[in-house]
């Protein structure tokens, strides 16, 4: 069982699902949201997450929505609209489950990397933006949206 919480405890989640890939996003929006150099996410099947309270939502763009707690400001989640059953949860909201995580799989949006932050040699894949495969999925989703 993995569970997590925002800073004030208003929004909590739990899941029996195994964590999927860990991705650190260095984009400008994630820096602003994190108040730091990047935002780390771990993926889960969306349907496998049980919430005590759904996160509040906002969108920085048209491809994804971001979950947060409006009471304490914690960044909690990110979900891309083209992925029907996958959500990224911020590593900082996990409670005592860090041992269950796979190693960092990828650093994305390194073109925006904070100049004051030095990336360690952790063996993860590195991308200037999204990985090419993920970018293709988003482009395909956008093309499908326009047809409707």
**What's the min distance (Å) between Cβ of 147 and Zn ion?**
27
Q: Strands 2-5, 12-15: parallel, antiparallel or unpaired by DSSP?
A: antiparallel
Q: By C-beta, is 2 or 69 nearer to Zn ion?
A: 69
**One of 47, 58, 72, 98 touching Zn ion (CB under 5 A):** 72
Nearest approach in angstroms of CB 111 to Zn ion is 11
**Alpha carbons 127 and 124: distance in angstroms, whole number:** 10
Cα(79)–Cα(82) distance, integer angstroms: 9
69 binds Zn ion (CB under 5 A): yes
Our CB check for Zn ion shows the closer of 5 and 147 to be: 5
Binding test (CB under 5 A) with Zn ion, winner from 2, 15, 24, 30: 30
**Could you tell me whether strands 12-15 and 50-51 are parallel, antiparallel, or unpaired per DSSP bridges?**
antiparallel
Query: Which one, 71 or 137, has the nearer CB to Zn ion?
Result: 71
Q: Could you give the CA distance from residue 112 to residue 34 in angstroms, rounded to a whole number?
A: 14
Which spans in the chain are helix H?
Answer: 28-34, 132-147
Strand partners, 44: 87
Binding residue for Zn ion, selected from 10, 14, 82, 86, defined by CB under 5 A: 10
Residue numbers at the binding site for Zn ion (CB under 5 A): 6, 8, 10, 25, 27, 30, 69, 71-72
């Amino acid at each position: 069982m993995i569970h997590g919480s925002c800073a004030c405890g208003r929004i909590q989640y739990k899941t029996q699902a195994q964590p999927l890939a860990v991705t650190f996003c260095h984009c400008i929006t994630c820096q602003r949201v994190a108040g730091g150099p990047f935002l780390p996410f771990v993926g889960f099947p969306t349907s496998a997450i049980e919430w005590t309270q759904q996160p509040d939502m906002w969108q920085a763009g048209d491809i994804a929505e971001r979950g947060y707690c409006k009471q304490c400001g914690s960044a909690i989640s990110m979900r891309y609209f083209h992925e029907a059953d996958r959500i990224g949860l911020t590593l900082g909201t996990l409670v005592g489950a860090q041992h269950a995580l796979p190693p960092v799989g990828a650093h994305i949006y390194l073109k925006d990397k904070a100049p004051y932050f030095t990336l360690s040699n952790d063996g993860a894949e590195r991308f200037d933006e999204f990985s090419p495969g993920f970018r293709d999925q988003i482009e395909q989703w956008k093309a499908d949206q326009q047809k409707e």
